[in-house]
A and B are shown apart, each in its own frame.
Chain A
Amino acid sequence: MTDELLAIEGLGVDLPSGGWLPSRGRPAINILSGVTLDLKRGETLGLVGESGSGKTTLARAVLGLQPISAGTLRFDGAPLESGSDFRAIRRRTALMFQDAAASLSPRMSVGEAVVEPFVIHRAPAGDRRAKALDLLAEVGLPPEMAARYPHELSGGQARRVGVARALALKPALVIADEPTAGLDVSVQAEILNLMADLKDRHGLSYLIITHNLALIRHVADRIAVLYLGRLVETGPTAEIFARPRHPYTQSLIAAEPRPDPRLRRADLAIRGEVPGILRRPTGCEFHTRCPIARDICRSTAPALHTIGTGHFARCHFPETTKKGG
C-alpha cells in the first residue's frame, strides 16, 4: 500500500468547439493542460482558482465524468484509462456539488437519496431505512428529515444531505466543489467542522475546490493554484500563505478583502480580468496582468520551478517576491 491515493500527471482537457457534426479544421478549446498533482492518503488538498480556471473541469476529469485529451490518472496505484476503470472506483470516490440542493434528485426523498449509493452498488445495507437514519444522524440531521424533499431543505441542510450521501459507502476520496458556497459564515463552519470530523473518523482524503482563500487556509494541508487551466503554484498551505512565489498567487492573497478596516489597502493588488479561454495569451498565461512581467514572459511559457520540498511555481522569476504579498 502506497502513500499516494490519486496521481494526476500531465492532464489535459480539450473541448470540441461546438457543432453537431464532426468538423475539420475547427480547433478544440483547451481547458486544462499539463496539470500534474497528487493527493496522499488522509490529506486535504485545496484547489484554488477564479472562474474559468478549470478547477471544476479538473474535478470531473479525475472522476471520468469529463473525457481527457492528454495525461494519465492513477487511483490507489491502478491506472484509470477506460470507462470500466472509472466504474471500478465509483464506490471509493464521491463528489460533492457546489449547489447541494440541485445535486439531489428533485423527486426523491432525502431518505432515499442518502442510501442510493447502496442501491446503485448493490451493497448490503441491512435495513435501508435504519441505514438512512444512521447516515442522517452522522451528519447531524434529525430522523424526520428522511421524509423531506430537496426543495424543502435549507442551504445548510442540503449540504448535510450531500455530505451524508458522499460518505455513505465510506469512500477513500471525496471531491468537494465549493463545499460552502452560498452558506452564511455562521453555517459554513458547521459544514467544515462536520467534514473534518468525518475525515478523522473515516480516514478520508479531500480534494476541495474553492475560490475562498480565507477558508482553504484553515482546512487544506496543501494548495494548488490554477490560472486559465494551468497549475501555477502548488505547495504546503502555510508556506504558500506565508511566502507565495507566483505573482498570481500573491495577487490572489492580497486581493482578498480583509475584515479589518485598519488593514485597508490603498493600492490595487491586481488589475484587469482573466482573459477569455478563447484568447489565451502567449507565453506565460498570466503576463497580461502580471506586475513583474518581462519580455520572456510574453514569448515563452515558464516551466514549473522547484521552490522547496513539495513547493513548485510556474514562473520565470519565482524568486522575485513582491513586498507585502
Chain B
Amino acid sequence: MPSAGRKTVLRALLRDPMAALGLGLVTLFVAMALFAPWIAPADPIRLNVVEKFQPPSLAHLAGTDQLGRDLLSRIIYGARTALSIAITAVGLAGLAGLVLGMIAGFGPRWLDGLLVLLFDSLSSLPMIMFALAVITVMGPGTGTLILVVVLVSIPAYARLIRAQTLALAGADFIVAERAMGASGARILLRHMLPNVVGPLVILLSMDIPVVIMLEAGLSYLNLGVRPPTPSWGNILYDGYTSLRAAPYMVMIAGLPLVLSTLGFTFLGEGLRDALDPRLQGRGAR
C-alpha cells in the first residue's frame, strides 16, 4: 500500500470490530513472542520436580507441568516458537511465490509453462505424506518444519501472483509504461509489485494460523519442535499424556492455539475487506 493508503487501511481495520479484535489478538501474541524473556515469570525449561502438576495458583498463574515447569512461561515462550516458525515459513514461501509468480506471469511463455508445471506437480503431492517423507529423510526439527511448509505453500502463492500479474500485463497503465520505454524491471518492481502484494499479504496472514496448527500437530506427534524447547504442540502433548493428573494442562495449552488462529484469521479477513478497492471507495465518494 502506498503511504497515503496506510492510515485509511488501519482506520478501516479498526472500524470493523472483528478485524479490530483480530488485530488486538495478533498484537498480543507478537508482543508475547518478542518480550518473552521479560514477561515470562519463570524459566520455561528449568525443571522443578517437587512442584509438578500444580494447578493454577498465584505462584504459577497457569500451573505447572509433569516436570514442574511453569506453564505460563512455557506458553509465552511457545508463542515465540510458534510465531517464529510460522512467520519465517510463510514469509519465505510468500517471497518465493511472489518472485516465481511474477516471473511466470511476466516472463516468456515457455518459462511460464515450465513454472506452472512445477507448481502443479508440487501441489499434487499429498501434504501429510510429503511432510512425513521429508521428516524421515531430514529428521524432525524446526528447519525441516519450515522447509515442508515452504515447499507445500509456494504453489498457491505463486499461482495467485501469476494470475494477478497476467491480468495486469494487459492493463492500460502497463502498456502505457511500455510505450514510454520503461524497462521490464521497472514495470515489474515499480508498477506490478505494489498492485499484486495486497492480495498476497491477506493470504499470508490467513495462512499463519494454518502453519501454527501444523507446527503444533507435528510437535504433538514428536515430529516437529524437539523438547525441551517449549512449543504449544509439545505442551498439548504433555497435557494429553498427563490428562488424568492435570486436566487443566490441555485447556491451557489449547487456548493460545485457538486464540491465535482466530486472531490471524480475523485480521486476514479484515485486511481483505479494508484493502478491497471496491469497498475502499465507500468513504471517498
Interface residues of A (CB under 8 A from B): 20-21, 60, 63, 65, 87, 90-91, 93-95, 97, 99, 102-109, 116-117, 120-121, 149, 151-152, 165
CB of B172 within 8 A of CB of A103, answer yes
Q: Which residues of chain B have C-beta atoms less than 8 A from A149's C-beta?
A: 2, 4
A102-B171, A105-B191, A107-B194 given; A97·B181 CB < 8 A: no
User: What is the size category of the interface that chain B forms with chain A?
Assistant: 20 to 34
Q: How far does the alpha carbon of A102 sit from the alpha carbon of B176 in the complex, in Å?
A: 9
Is A102 touching B4 in the complex (CB atoms < 8 A)? no
Taking a contact as CB atoms under 8 Å apart, the answer to whether B173 and A104 are in contact is yes
Closest 5 CB pairs of A and B: A90-B181, A95-B179, A102-B172, A103-B176, A103-B172
Q: Does A97 lie within 8 Å of B172, measured CB to CB?
A: yes
User: How many Å lie between the Cα of A121 and that of B186 in the bound state?
Assistant: 12
Asked whether A107 and B176 contact (CB < 8 A) given A20-B113, A90-B181, A102-B171, the answer is: no
CB-based contact A95/B2 at 8 Å: no
* 21 A-B contacts (beta carbon < 8 Å): A90-B180, A93-B179, A97-B172, A102-B173, A103-B176, A105-B177, A105-B190, A106-B173, A107-B5, A107-B194, A107-B195, A108-B190, A108-B191, A109-B2, A109-B4, A117-B181, A120-B180, A120-B182, A121-B181, A151-B277, A151-B281
Q: In the complex, given contacts A65-B179, A120-B180, what are 14 additional A-B residue pairs having Cβ atoms less than 8 angstroms apart? A: A20-B109, A65-B175, A93-B179, A97-B172, A97-B176, A102-B173, A104-B176, A106-B173, A106-B195, A107-B195, A116-B182, A120-B181, A120-B183, A151-B277
Q: Within the assembled complex, what's the spacing in Å between the Cα atoms of A108 and B5?
A: 11
Determine if B7 is an interface residue (Cβ-Cβ < 8 Å). Answer: no
Residues of A within 8 A of B167 (CB): none
**Contact across chains for B176 and A91 when beta carbons are under 8 A apart:** no
Which residue of the partner chain B has the closest CB to A148? B4
CA distance A105 to B194 in the complex (A): 10
> Which chain B positions have C-beta within 8 A of A102?
171-173
B58 at the interface (CB under 8 A from A): no
The residue of chain A having its C-beta at the shortest distance from the C-beta of B178 within the complex is: A65
**Chain A: minimal CB distance from B237 (Å):** 47
Closest A residue to B179 by beta carbon equals A95
Q: Which of A21, A65, A103 is close to B173, meaning CB atoms less than 8 Å apart?
A: A103
B29 to A: closest C-beta gap in Å: 30
Write out the residue numbers on chain B whose beta carbons fall within 8 Å of the beta carbon of A94.
179-180
B172-A107 in contact (CB<8A): no
B129 close to A (CB within 8 Å): no
Whether A63 and B179, one on each chain, are in contact in the complex, defined by CB atoms closer than 8 angstroms, is: yes
- Complex-state Cα separation, A65 to B175, whole angstroms: 8
Which residues 138-170 in B have Cβ within 8 Å of A in the complex? none
Residue with the highest number of chain A CB atoms closer than 10 Å, among B1, B4, B109: B4
- Minimum CB–CB distance from B9 to chain A (whole Å) comes to 13
Q: Tell me the chain B residues, 182-241 only, with Cβ under 8 Å from chain A.
A: 182-183, 186, 190-191, 194-195
State whether the Cβ of B284 lies closer than 8 Å to any Cβ in chain A: yes
Most chain A CB within a 10 A radius of its CB, from B1, B179, B284: B179
Which residues of the partner chain B approach A65 to less than 8 Å between Cβ atoms? 175, 178-179
**Nearest-CB distance from A97 to chain B (Å)?**
5
B284–A152 CB distance below 8 A: yes
Pick the most buried of B172, B178, B186: most chain A CB atoms within 10 A of its CB: B172
For residue A162, which residue of chain B has the nearest CB?
Answer: B176
Q: Considering the chains assembled together, what is the distance between the CA atoms of A116 and B179 in angstroms?
A: 12
Q: How far is the CA of A116 from the CA of B176 in the complex (A)?
A: 11
Chain B residues, Cβ within 8 Å of A165:
180
A102 to B170, CA, bound (A): 11
Docked pose: A100 CA to B45 CA in angstroms? 63
**Inside 8 A of B179's CB, which chain A residues have their CB?**
63, 65, 90, 93-95
Q: In the complex, which residues of chain B have a beta carbon less than 8 angstroms from the beta carbon of A109?
A: 2, 4
Min CB gap B182→A, angstroms: 5
Which chain B residues in 231-267 approach chain A with CB under 8 Å? none
Tell me the minimal C-beta distance from A13 to chain B in angstroms: 16
Give chain A residues whose Cβ lies under 8 Å from the Cβ of B172. Answer: 97, 99, 102-103
Residues in B neighbouring A104, C-beta threshold 8 A:
173, 176
Residues of A within 8 A of B182 (CB): 116, 120
Chain B residues whose C-beta falls within 8 Å of the C-beta of A152 in the assembled complex: 284
Distance in angstroms between the alpha carbons of A95 and B179 in the assembled complex: 7
User: With A and B bound together, what is the CA distance between A116 and B178 in angstroms?
Assistant: 12
Residues of A within 8 A of B284 (CB): 151-152
* Alpha-carbon distance A228/B53, docked complex (angstroms): 85
Q: Are A117 and B180 in contact (CB under 8 A)?
A: yes
* Least distance between A151 CB and chain B CB atoms (Å): 8
The CA-CA distance from A49 to B164 in the complex, in Å, is 33
* Chain B residues within 8 Å of A116, by CB: 177, 180, 182
- The minimal Cβ–Cβ distance linking A259 to chain B, given in whole angstroms, is 31
Kindly state the separation between the CA atoms of A104 and B186 in the bound complex, as whole angstroms. 15
Identify which of B113, B175, B181, B183 gathers the most chain A CB atoms within 10 Å of its CB.
B181
Cα distance A108–B182 in the bound complex, in angstroms: 15
User: Could you tell me the distance in whole angstroms from the C-beta of A17 to the nearest C-beta in chain B?
Assistant: 15
Which chain A residue lies CB-closest to B171? A102
How far is it, in angstroms, between the C-alpha of A27 and the C-alpha of B84 when the chains are bound? 55
Interface string of B272-285 (1 = CB under 8 A from A): 00000100010010
